[in-house]
């Protein structure tokens, strides 16, 4: 049976119908921009139940709300198997994830019933009306979506967001001002090497699609293909070189942990392929020693070293490299004139570019301004537990004479614990006068992007979005990285704890060894 036609001279009302569980609902058609599949989502930590996360809609960051949660229903076991997202119109678009989309329905205005009068409203619903369709067999409730979203997310007034920069948002501390005094360390053949952070633009994964360059007869040698090939980097070709080969180390097959350290070599951008990234280290000049003369006189890989850095307790030796001496003359010849011409026309690096350390937590990716990161290290085997502190505080460690509180970021974000044996990392974070270590699932890369590439965080969810200072949308890779504000990452409770530790730091550091406990994996 066809739907009743509106009376002559009266414009019909058009609605898009959809399902939530077995119930039929509707939205005015002029409030709907489009219907799409539910995109891959970046979860917002400690977001209200109605916000599923942030999705990518053709390069734009889009908050995705759950119709089930907004209506007080439990989420489905497989919520996105047949689900669709209804993108709502507005200055700040929002997508509503529903169980299924029905059809466009045109009804006579007289058919729109008062939902309150007809007792059709269920607990938790905000309904502006109802109508019958499918020949009168089904009833669709018209959601009053704007107040429903506003009630669920309860936006709060907050100060204007500062632009995302490479520096911490809190007042600069001496350690942050000396951000250049850091090393990016990585492995090659089980040995640890490092470059000064000012020589590194980014650290990115080694892509599967690497084009191998043809080698001449002079390159057919057992020293391995120094030139690994080229990869696409920011819409241009980036020549790749194997650190193992440059240092005369044995070759190895590429692994999932392999990374590309992007450095600037004269007018060219060059990718240095390493086995894995290991840490971000604070550079203490007192711990830097020159290369021993016996090594400096050699013509092999050791001649490419600049200095030796004694990390940790002084027994961990890290070889510091220098890009200007790392590449042999014959290697530079493989960067032909075409590469040089392309480099000369490449966009000049902006002074306001921001650098971020990317880490993973619960399957999602987050970024922190690299200037707010003092260092990255393995989670210590033992931590000293402090009684009567919140559960998310793992304990404290003695980091080169200073007491450092360690926060379990999974617990802080209400995520389940990791399985035993996971490779967790400890990020030593500084925000103003506060310094703490946060335990994360892993650290993957360092990204540098212009300010224009960073989208503002949506204001939909109120308080939780204060934590997110921006969104980095790597559309081609299908990745959304939530950029966190260091000042907001440490809550008022945590800052109070850190202030207490600062006052009693020396006393806490000398607690009996019996108080120590193994770090949880």
- pLDDT of amino acid 62: 85
Question: Strand 402-408 relative to strand 425-431: parallel, antiparallel, unpaired?
Answer: unpaired
**Residue 37 pairs with which residues in a beta bridge?**
84
Q: Is it the case that residue 377 has pLDDT exceeding 70?
A: yes
Q: Which range has the worst mean pLDDT, 21-35, 82-96, 125-139, 380-394?
A: 380-394
Q: Is it the case that residue 217 has pLDDT exceeding 50?
A: no
Closest residue by Cα to residue 202 from 256, 264, 254, 276: 264
> pLDDT band at 140, cuts 50/70/90?
very high
Q: Is it the case that residue 315 has pLDDT exceeding 60?
A: yes
174 or 156, higher pLDDT: 156
Question: Strand 316-321 relative to strand 191-196: parallel, antiparallel, unpaired?
Answer: parallel
pTM of the predicted model as reported, rounded to 2 decimal places: 0.76
**Mean pLDDT on 496-505:** 67
C-beta neighbour count of 354 within 10 angstroms:
25
For domain 354-518, give the CATH number.
Answer: 2.40.50.180
Q: Say if residues 281 and 317 touch (Cβ distance below 8 Å).
A: no
For domain 13-153, give the CATH number.
Answer: 2.40.50.180
Q: Is it the case that residue 364 has pLDDT exceeding 60?
A: yes
342 or 69, higher pLDDT: 69
> pLDDT band at 305, cuts 50/70/90?
confident
pLDDT tens by residue, 268-283 = 788 999 999 988 999 8
Q: Which residues of 121-148 are buried (b: 16+ CB within 10 A; e: fewer)?
A: eeeebbbbbbbbbeeeeebbbbbebeeb
Q: Which two tokens stand for residue 332?
A: 């530079």
Task: Name the percent of the chain lying above pLDDT 90.
Answer: 23
**216 contacts: CB under 8 Å, gap ≥ 6:** none
- pLDDT of amino acid 33: 94
Q: Is it the case that residue 349 has pLDDT exceeding 80?
A: no
Q: Is it the case that residue 28 has pLDDT exceeding 90?
A: yes
- pLDDT of amino acid 92: 74
Q: Is it the case that residue 223 has pLDDT exceeding 60?
A: no
Q: Is it the case that residue 80 has pLDDT exceeding 70?
A: no
Q: Which CATH class is domain 177-344?
A: mainly beta
**Residue 70 pairs with which residues in a beta bridge?**
none
- pLDDT of amino acid 266: 73
Q: Is it the case that residue 299 has pLDDT exceeding 70?
A: no
Q: Is it the case that residue 100 has pLDDT exceeding 70?
A: yes
- pLDDT of amino acid 6: 52
Q: Is it the case that residue 510 has pLDDT exceeding 70?
A: no
Q: What is the 3-state secondary structure (H, E, C) of 111-165?
A: HCECCCCCCCCCCCCCEEEEEEECCCCEEEEEECHHHHHHHHHCCCCCCCCCCCC
Distance CA 61, CA 495 (A): 31
- pLDDT of amino acid 234: 79
Distance CA 220, CA 159 (A): 62
- pLDDT of amino acid 339: 52
- pLDDT of amino acid 521: 45
Task: Indicate the DSSP class of residue 335.
Answer: S
pLDDT tens by residue, 384-400 = 888 877 778 888 888 88
C-alpha distances out from residue 289 to 285, 292, 307, 309, Å: 9, 9, 6, 6
Q: Say if residues 116 and 141 touch (Cβ distance below 8 Å).
A: no
Q: Is it the case that residue 367 has pLDDT exceeding 60?
A: yes
- Computed over every residue of the chain, the mean pLDDT equals 77
Residue intervals in the chain for CATH 2.40.50.180: 13-153, 177-344, 354-518
Cβ neighbourhood burial of 224 (10 Å; 0-12, 13-18, 19+): middle
Task: Indicate the DSSP class of residue 198.
Answer: G
C-alpha distances out from residue 509 to 403, 482, 493, Å: 6, 34, 21
> pLDDT band at 493, cuts 50/70/90?
low
> pLDDT band at 165, cuts 50/70/90?
very low
Of 94-103, 217-226, 473-482, the range with the highest mean pLDDT is 94-103
Residue 311 has, within 13 A of its CA and on its CB side, a CA count of: 24
pLDDT tens by residue, 414-446 = 888 877 656 789 999 988 788 889 999 999 899
pLDDT tens by residue, 31-79 = 999 999 988 888 887 777 788 888 888 877 888 999 998 988 887 766 5
Q: Say if residues 282 and 182 touch (Cβ distance below 8 Å).
A: yes
Q: Is it the case that residue 477 has pLDDT exceeding 70?
A: yes
Helix (H, G, I), strand (E, B) or coil at 256: coil
459 or 341, higher pLDDT: 459
Q: Say if residues 159 and 214 touch (Cβ distance below 8 Å).
A: no
């Amino acid at each position: 049976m066809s739907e009743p036609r509106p009376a002559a001279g009266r414009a019909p009302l058009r609605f898009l119908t959809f399902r939530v569980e077995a119930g039929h609902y509707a939205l005015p058609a002029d409030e709907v921009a489009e219907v799409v599949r539910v995109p891959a989502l970046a979860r917002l930590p400690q977001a209200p139940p109605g916000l599923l996360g942030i999705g990518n809609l053709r390069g734009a960051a889009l908050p995705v709300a759950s119709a089930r949660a907004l209506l007080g229903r439990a989420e489905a076991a497989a919520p996105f198997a047949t689900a669709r997202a209804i993108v709502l119109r507005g200055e700040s678009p929002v997508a509503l994830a529903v169980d299924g989309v029905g059809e466009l329905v045109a009804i006579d205005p007289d058919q729109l019933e008062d939902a309150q009068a007809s007792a059709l409203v269920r607990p938790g619903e905000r309904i502006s009306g109802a109508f019958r369709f499918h020949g009168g067999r089904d009833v669709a409730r018209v959601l009053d979506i704007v107040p429903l979203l506003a009630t669920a997310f309860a936006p709060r007034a907050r100060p204007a967001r500062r632009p995302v920069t490479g520096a911490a948002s809190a007042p600069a501390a001496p350690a942050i001002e000396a951000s250049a005094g850091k090393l990016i360390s990585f492995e090659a053949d089980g040995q640890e090497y490092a470059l000064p952070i000012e020589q590194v633009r980014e650290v990115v994964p080694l892509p599967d699609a690497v084009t191998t360059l043809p080698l001449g007869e002079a390159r057919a040698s057992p020293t391995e293909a120094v030139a690994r090939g080229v990869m696409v980097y920011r819409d241009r070709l980036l020549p790749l070189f194997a650190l193992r080969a440059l240092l005369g180390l044995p070759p190895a097959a590429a692994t999932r942990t392999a990374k590309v350290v992007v450095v600037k070599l004269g007018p060219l951008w060059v990718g240095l392929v390493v086995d894995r990234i290991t840490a971000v280290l604070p550079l203490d000049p007192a711990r830097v020693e020159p290369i021993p003369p016996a090594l400096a006189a050699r013509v092999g890989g050791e001649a490419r070293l600049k200095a030796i850095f004694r990390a940790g307790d002084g027994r961990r030796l890290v070889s510091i490299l220098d890009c200007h001496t790392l590449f042999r003359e014959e290697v530079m010849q493989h960067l032909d004139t075409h590469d040089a011409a392309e480099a000369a026309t490449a966009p000049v690096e902006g002074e306001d570019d921001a650098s971020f350390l990317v880490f993973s937590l619960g399957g999602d990716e987050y970024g922190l301004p690299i200037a707010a990161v003092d260092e990255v290290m393995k989670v210590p085997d033992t931590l000293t537990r402090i009684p009567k502190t919140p559960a998310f505080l793992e304990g404290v460690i003695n980091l080169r004479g200073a007491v450092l509180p360690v926060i379990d970021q999974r617990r802080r974000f209400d995520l389940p614990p990791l399985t035993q044996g996971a490779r967790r990392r400890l990020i030593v974070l500084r925000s103003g006068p506060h310094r703490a270590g946060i335990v994360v699932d892993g650290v993957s890369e360092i990204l540098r992007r212009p300010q224009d590439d960073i989208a503002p965080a949506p204001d939909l969810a109120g308080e939780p979005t204060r934590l997110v200072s921006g969104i980095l949308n790597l559309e081609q890779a299908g990745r959304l990285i939530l950029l966190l504000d260091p000042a907001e990452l440490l809550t008022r409770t945590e800052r109070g704890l850190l202030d207490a530790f600062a006052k009693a730091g020396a006393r806490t550091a000398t607690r009996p060894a019996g108080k120590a406990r193994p770090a949880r994996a």
